[in-house]
Structure 1
Amino acid sequence: MKSLALGLVLTAVLAGCASSPTVNTDHDPSAQFGNYRTYTWLSKPEGASPLAQQRIVAAIDAKLQSKGWTQSPNADVGVAAHVATQQQQTLDTFYSGPAWGGYRWGGGWGMGSATTTVRTYNVGTLVVDMFDTKTKQAIWRGTASDTIPSSQEKINATVQAGIDKMFADFPPGSAPAK
C-alpha cells in the first residue's frame, strides 16, 4: 500500500511539471524578416470554438504588433492558423509487494502484484504558418501542443503560454545569441 501511495504522489508531481506547452518553430533561412512589416490573415484557426478562435487571433495579433508589424489587406506576409485535437492514451502501472519474486522466509515463493490502468486524454495542437505573399513561399511555422485542461480558464492560460513561447524569439534572428 505504501508503494501505491508513493507511486500516486510521484505521478502527480511529474504531471505538474509537464504543464508547459511543447513548442517548436522553424523558418526559411533565406527569408528576410527585416523587410516584413505587414501581415494579413489567410486562414483563422478552425476546429476551435468561436471564442477560442477570437482569443487565438487576438493573441497572435498582439504578438505580431508588439514586433512592429501591422495588419493590412495588401500585406507582406500571410498568416494561417489551425487547431487540431487528438485523443491519446497512457498506461499507468503500479506495483505492490516486493519488486522481485523469490523465496520467502518460512518457505514458498512470493511475487508482488501489478495494477495497470489506461488513461485517455486529449491533446490540442495550434499550428501557425506564415507565407511571403509575393513569392507564395512558406517562411515560418510555429506549433504548440499540450494536454487539454479540464477548465476553460486553464485552456486559455495554456493557449496563451503556447503563443508566448512560440513568438518569444520571433522574428528569427531577433533574439540574442545564446
Structure 2
Amino acid sequence: MLTLLFLTFCSKTDVATDYDKTVDFSKLKTYNYWEADKTKDELSDIDEKRILSAIDEQMTRKGYVKNDSPDFLINLVTDSTETQNISTYYSGSSYKRTWGWGSGHSDQTVSTITQGILFIDILDAKKKKLIWQGKRTGNLANTIEEKDKNAVLLASQILKTFPSKIAIVK
C-alpha cells in the first residue's frame, strides 16, 4: 500500500490552487468531509487521520466550524507519479606509460523518484460541485517523524489561499 499523503519539503515541490469565481465564499461558514470518494487504496487510515486533523486546525484558524449540515465539503484525492532520472558520467581518455592512450568510457545510473500529489477539493455541499481546489506535489516522506512533522505544513500550504472567514468578516 502506498501511503502517499506526506510529501517531503524539498526544493522540488509545487502548490497550485484554482477556484470558481462565481462562488461567494463569504457565505460559507461550516464544513465537513465528503465520505463518498475515500481514497483508501492509496491513503492509510493513519495518514488520513493526520491530514484531516491538520485540515481541521487550518479551518478553525480561518474561522470555519465543522458541522453535520455543512455549507461545503472537503474531499481528499491522492495520486503519484514516478520519474526516472538517468545520469551519465564520462571518463575521458588518459595516457598510460606502458599502453599509450587509453579509451574513455561512460557509466550510467538510473534512479526512480516517486512524487506524491495531494488534492484538497472543496465542494458546494448542496450541489456537490467543485468550488475550490488545491494541490501539492512533492517527494514522498518515509519516516513517521517526517510524516508527523509535515502534516500541518502540508495542509497550511495547500489551504493558504482558501478564503479566511476572519478576513472576510473584517
Q: Would you call these one fold, judging by a TM-score over 0.5?
A: yes
For 1:149, the equivalent position in structure 2 comes to 141
Q: Note if 1:162 corresponds to 2:154.
A: yes
Between the aligned residues of both structures, percent identity stands at: 28
Q: Note if 1:134 corresponds to 2:129.
A: no
Aligned counterpart for 2:89 among listed residues 91, 94, 98: 94
For 1:84, the equivalent position in structure 2 comes to 79
**What is the aligned length?**
152
Q: What is the letter of the counterpart of residue 169 of structure 1? A: T
Q: Do the aligned residues in 2 keep the contact of 1:148 with 1:155 (CA within 8 Å)?
A: no
In the alignment, the residues of structure 1 paired with residue 56 and residue 25 of structure 2 have an alpha-carbon distance, to the nearest angstrom, of 17
Q: Compute the displacement of 1:27 (Å).
A: 0.5
Query: Of the two structures, which has the highest relative contact order with CA contacts closer than 8 Å and spacing of 6 or more?
Result: 2
Q: Compute the displacement of 1:97 (Å).
A: 2.7
What SS does the aligned partner of 1:149 have? coil
Return structure 1 stretches of 4+ with deviation > 4 angstroms: 108-112
For 1:36, the equivalent position in structure 2 comes to 28
In the alignment, the residues of structure 2 paired with residue 36 and residue 17 of structure 1 have an alpha-carbon distance, to the nearest angstrom, of 31
Q: Do the aligned residues in 2 keep the contact of 1:124 with 1:146 (CA within 8 Å)?
A: yes
Q: Compute the displacement of 1:92 (Å).
A: 1.8
In the alignment, the residues of structure 1 paired with residue 125 and residue 146 of structure 2 have an alpha-carbon distance, to the nearest angstrom, of 35
Q: Do the aligned residues in 2 keep the contact of 1:145 with 1:162 (CA within 8 Å)?
A: no
Render the CA deviation track for 1:106-154: whole Å, top value 9, x for unaligned: xx98764322111013221111111112333211001111111332222
Q: Compute the displacement of 1:19 (Å).
A: 4.1
In the alignment, the residues of structure 2 paired with residue 55 and residue 23 of structure 1 have an alpha-carbon distance, to the nearest angstrom, of 19
In the alignment, the residues of structure 1 paired with residue 9 and residue 91 of structure 2 have an alpha-carbon distance, to the nearest angstrom, of 25
In structure 1, runs of 5+ residues without a counterpart are 1-15, 99-103
Query: For the structure 1 residues 111 and 22, does the alpha-carbon distance in structure 2 shift closer, same or farther, using more than 3 Å as the test?
Result: farther
Q: Which has the higher helix share?
A: 1
In the alignment, the residues of structure 1 paired with residue 103 and residue 10 of structure 2 have an alpha-carbon distance, to the nearest angstrom, of 33
Q: Compute the displacement of 1:155 (Å).
A: 3.2
Query: For the structure 1 residues 154 and 94, does the alpha-carbon distance in structure 2 shift closer, same or farther, using more than 3 Å as the test?
Result: farther
What SS does the aligned partner of 2:90 have? strand
In the alignment, the residues of structure 2 paired with residue 160 and residue 25 of structure 1 have an alpha-carbon distance, to the nearest angstrom, of 18
Q: What is the letter of the counterpart of residue 79 of structure 1? A: I
For 1:57, the equivalent position in structure 2 comes to 52
Render the CA deviation track for 1:29-82: whole Å, top value 9, x for unaligned: 111111101001113553222111100100111111111001111110011112
Query: For the structure 1 residues 85 and 17, does the alpha-carbon distance in structure 2 shift closer, same or farther, using more than 3 Å as the test?
Result: closer
